[in-house]
A and B are shown apart, each in its own frame.
Chain A
């Protein structure tokens, strides 16, 4: 478009089937608009977003030499890009297009006032035309994407995503806060519904991740800060000291055998013991031990050093310091996983932590695991005896408006699997499953339910227990109202297993804060769209894998990890990102350098700089600016303007609407 050229506008009024046309007289709108100055052509059409609808625009641009286009239709959220592309095909800059919303803003809310709705629609479209006259072409810039990804969280989601990205040929840095990767899945004995050994399917992936030439593992490492934006994130990590030289250590484990100090093991959820120097678990990756200084005799009392004395390759190093690592990455995958709901604190009626024989499902997994504290024998914690009667309680904390409103999405099937553990280890045991509903929606889950339901010694009670109580003889008992038989049943089990609800992993809160990504009311990461964009976040270039986004079983977690990886791969293999054209722009002549805008920007896009003549002005980093307009509204000098929404354009619309 040449400066000073005559403005020629095309206006297109969409029927949206009957959504608009049943209320608004679209013909009249087109007719009225054709009388507006600069409007060269005004038409109505049944579906403007359809291919023929778009073609009308493309052809009219050529035929009528249009240089501005207005479509009066739905909300710009869905179809603004559609029409912008059409305008571009017609040979115009895509930002010489304006959309007027006469559906959500008009026909849908004025169903009963047709003629008034038509009047309103005319005004809305006229306002859009007023703005269209003042539109200027905008530029989209391309910013290079660093072909390297960061994956936060080394559970099955993080491992799977890392492997997928690495296999596509990109470099990956996988960060895990614990000493080993593996996450919660490493704690499981078997996985439902196929009952294959969890370690047997997980360990090969862990080893593959550690050996992959494109993957760098950062275990026992926390994320400290993340700056920058899509394509160019600057990440700071803090590697906690293991007090073991990783290059020298052979993983022989002599140090662990020699260490005289034992403490409860985190991996075994306190049911088993570990030493002050320990491997997270026998199949840990990397197989390098960690000294826990809080329980190490040397750190506490200055004596011992047994591990150092006996370590064959002399790998112990008590002077190791935390190490800062800086990285630049183009994409980030969040895979921080989940933690268990704090039942001990929030639901005292279940007696968890008060009574030793009330355990969680995850704790039962450790009892059943061959490498667990009881070497794979199901023995109850209080006296080490084999339980003959076991109660499994589903939905503990889940689907409860006083606790967690949502379903954990694996507790039911996990509970069925736990019943299987009990009856397969202790054939004469009786199992009672207390449930509210059994939800077995996944592939093969209903069949698994049928199988467990057919066991004679597994009984199903439809009801949640009242309080779990301890009798004078130490035995545990509770009443439960069975809604299927309309009776109160008193159960006196030897062991009670709680299928607890789940919450986001405690580390997620900090990461979300650092990244400024949206968090849902349940505390999990908020996806960009619950159906259509489930792996994306409110921050471009940051993707979600697994339970960080919400409760998930392993198949769903792995599927989403693959999806997140492919989003990251798509971003990196395209190699560039386009900037948003609607960024804030500062008129340096008007800017007084007051700095009001700077702290208001939620995306850290504004800095204050000194010009050559010594004058201080605000400067917008367009790779960070999201075009939210906060600085524009705040600027007392009118120096900050949002491109595509400048004061002049908005005033023209307001004048038209109110005039």
Chain B
């Protein structure tokens, strides 16, 4: 299995732990990752200015993958949605496909719809499979309750095919169970992490994040995990701010990428997984896991 790893801006510039843990774990499960030499932003930040530009930006990414005969793995929920939307819309709208290819021609690129995009949750759950993951485990993790925060765009909007649906258990939760942990539900699991309003209303955004963490703590979860760089940026990176804004010192939980947990189970070292870069108290978790 080979994929072209399209990181997207957030993972490539702020969330190195995600990249490290993806590059550390996937090859151990038989997945080869190619690193693209030439890449661009998925176009989401331009959506408010141009409706066309994001289609072009995403089509370019897909065209590069197609030129190499590969599919994309996109670890960011936002990029993944934008890429999926583009694939979907271009297929239904031949004039749009032509317009995009007109621009790509200058670079000798062309997108025909052959290459497609996967999210790590799909690669892990659908392509590799939980059995294979369970049998690859090197280190037994204690059966502790962990809560997943899938993030909006893993599930929404329902107009386009999304990796997860709410009709039944999440793939992400099955993956948590696959490495010996217990997936624990909590009330605000499917809600927004707060990142969407961070630029406009930082205080409100952080209150939202604090609420999610408190709900997970209230059901007894020992950690919160996700496969979205925005969710972890909020849940992991904003705990100090949350304490200040809410005045509640209890807003504290280890928050980390599922691929970091997976890496621990596969016997990788915490440094190799970038866990020294996490800002939430992951050392508490590591401590418990060593017991």
Whether a CB of chain A sits under 8 angstroms from the CB of B167 is yes
B32 at interface by CB-CB < 8 Å: no
- What number of A residues sit within 8 Å (CB to CB) of B? 11
User: Is the CB of A348 closer than 8 A to any CB of chain B?
Assistant: yes
Cross-chain contact B188 with A348 (CB below 8 angstroms)? no
A348 B166 Cβ-Cβ under 8 A: yes
When distances are taken between beta carbons in the complex, the residues of chain B under 8 Å from A104 are: none
Supposing A467-B190, A467-B191 touch, asked if A472 and B167 sit within 8 A by C-beta, the answer is no
B167 — which chain A residues lie within 8 A by C-beta? Answer: 348
Within 8 A of B (CB), among A452-484: 466-467, 469-473, 477
In the assembled complex, how far is the CB of residue A644 from the closest CB belonging to chain B, in whole angstroms? 46
Among residues of B, the one whose C-beta sits closest to the C-beta of A478 is B187
Contact B166 A470 (CB under 8 A): no
CA distance A471 to B190 in the complex (A): 14
Given the interface contacts A348-B166, A348-B167, does A469 sit within 8 Å of B188 by beta carbon?
yes
B136 at the interface (CB under 8 A from A): no
A477 partner residues in chain B, CB cutoff 8 A: 187
CA distance A365 to B166 in the complex (A): 30
In this complex, the member of A348, A402, A466, A472 whose beta carbon has the largest number of chain B beta carbons within 10 angstroms is: A472
Interface size class of B (residues with CB under 8 A): 10 to 19
Judge whether B215 is part of the interface by a CB distance below 8 angstroms: yes
Nearest CB of B to A493, in Å: 15
Residues 194-215 of B, flagged 1 when their CB comes within 8 A of A and 0 if not, give 0000000000000000000001
**A471 pairs with B191, CB closer than 8 A:** no
Option from A348, A349, A471 in Cβ contact (under 8 Å) with B187: A471
Is the contact region of chain B dominated by helix, strand, or loop, or is it mixed? Answer: loop
> With the chains together, A348 CA to B215 CA distance in Å?
20
B218 contacts the other chain (Cβ, under 8 Å)? yes
Q: Which residues in chain A, 334-384, are within 8 Å of chain B measured between CB atoms?
A: 348-349
Residues of B within 8 A of A470 (CB): 187
Contacts of B158 in A (CB 8 A): 402
Across the interface, do B218 and A471 meet the contact criterion of CB distance under 8 Å? yes
Evaluate whether A472 and B218 lie within 8 angstroms (CB atoms) in the complex, with A348-B166, A348-B167 already known. yes
B215 touches A471 (CB 8 A): yes
Nearest chain A CB to B274 CB, angstrom units: 31
**Contact of B103 with A by CB under 8 A:** no
B219 and A472 contact, CB distance less than 8 A: yes
CB distance from A479 to the nearest CB of B (A): 9
Q: How far is the CB of B146 from chain A (nearest CB, A)?
A: 16
Q: Which of B167, B186, B187, B215 has the most CB of A within 10 A?
A: B187
Closest to A490 in B: B211
Q: B166 to A469, Cβ gap below 8 A?
A: no
Alpha-carbon separation in the docked complex, A471 to B220 (Å): 12
Instruction: Please indicate the chain A residues that have their CB under 8 angstroms from the CB of B166 in the complex.
Output: 348-349
The 8 Å CB contact of A472, one of B190, B191, B215, is: B215
Distance between A13 CB and nearest chain B CB, rounded to angstroms:
47
User: Chain B: which residue is nearest A488 at the CB level?
Assistant: B204
Residue ID in chain B nearest A479 by CB atoms: B191
**Which chain B residues in 58-117 approach chain A with CB under 8 Å?**
none
Tell me the complex Cα distance, A348–B186, Å.
Answer: 15
Find chain B residues with CB under 8 A from A472 CB: 186-187, 215, 218-220
The 10 lowest CB-CB distance pairs between A and B, nearest first, are: A472-B218, A469-B187, A472-B219, A348-B166, A471-B187, A470-B187, A469-B188, A467-B190, A471-B218, A467-B191
Identify 10 residue pairs between A and B in the complex whose beta-carbon atoms are under 8 Å apart, listed by A's number. Answer: A348-B167, A466-B191, A467-B190, A469-B187, A472-B186, A472-B187, A472-B215, A472-B218, A472-B219, A473-B218
